[in-house]
Amino acid sequence: MEIQKQPYPGACFPTAVAIVIGVPVQEILEDLPDGREIIWRKNKKYQYRGFHPQEIKLWLLQHGWAMIDFLVEPFLVNPERISRNKKSIVMRIQDLESTIEYGHNAVLGYSNHAVAWDGRITFDPDGSQYSGMPQGVHTVDIIKSI
C-alpha cells in the first residue's frame, strides 16, 4: 500500500479505501456525492457530510471489489445478553491480525476517522504512516477483489 492524502476534510474513508485498493482517491470521489457539503455548522470537527459506507460499498461492487464489515464490539439490544456473552461476541484483535496476515488489507474506523491497515502499518489519510493499529478501532472493513 502507498500513502495518499485526503483531498479535503471528511474524505478520510474514501481515501483509506483508495489506499487499500491502490487507486487514486479522485477516481472514487468523482463517482460519489460531494462529501464537502457542510451539514453541521456549529461543530467544525464534524461539519462535513462525509461518506456513508453504503456509497463506498456500491462503488466498490461496481468496480470489482467487495467490502466486508466486522464490528469489533457488535451492538446487541439486550444489555444482559451483552454482559453474559461478551467473550463470545467481541472480535479478538488477535483474530483480526491473523485475518490481515493472510493478505486481507483493511480499512479501520475509529473516532470518526478511517485509516488503511496492512496488519503491521497504519496508512493515515492525513499523510502519515505509523506502526501498529490505532487505539479504539470499532469497525474493520476487509476489501477483496471479486
What DSSP line would sit under the chain, residue for residue?
Answer: ------SSTT-HHHHHHHHHHTS-HHHHHTTS--TT-B--TT-GGG-B----HHHHHHHHHHTTEEEEEEESS---S-HHHHHHHHHHHSPPHHHHHHHHHTT--EEEEETTEEEEE-SSEEE-TTS-EEES--TT--EEEEEEE-
Per-residue pLDDT, averaged over 8-17, amounts to 92
Q: What angle do CA 142, 125, 105 make, to 5 degrees?
A: 20
Give the pLDDT band of residue 41 (cuts 50, 70, 90): confident
Its pTM stands at 0.81
What confidence score (pLDDT) does residue 92 get? Answer: 57
Q: How confident is the model over 72-103, as pLDDT tens digits?
A: 765 545 555 555 555 554 555 566 666 665 55
Beta bridge partners of 121: 131
What confidence score (pLDDT) does residue 78 get? Answer: 52
What confidence score (pLDDT) does residue 79 get? Answer: 52
- Give 47 or 63, the one with higher predicted confidence: 63
Domain boundaries, the chain: 12-145
- Give 109 or 81, the one with higher predicted confidence: 109
Per-residue pLDDT, averaged over 36-52, amounts to 74
Classify 3 in phi/psi space as left (phi over 0), alpha (psi -120 to 50) or beta.
beta
Q: How confident is the model over 118-142, as pLDDT tens digits?
A: 888 999 999 999 998 888 888 888 8
33, HSE (Cβ side, Cα atoms, 13 Å)? 12
Nearest to 142 by CA among 57, 34, 26: 57
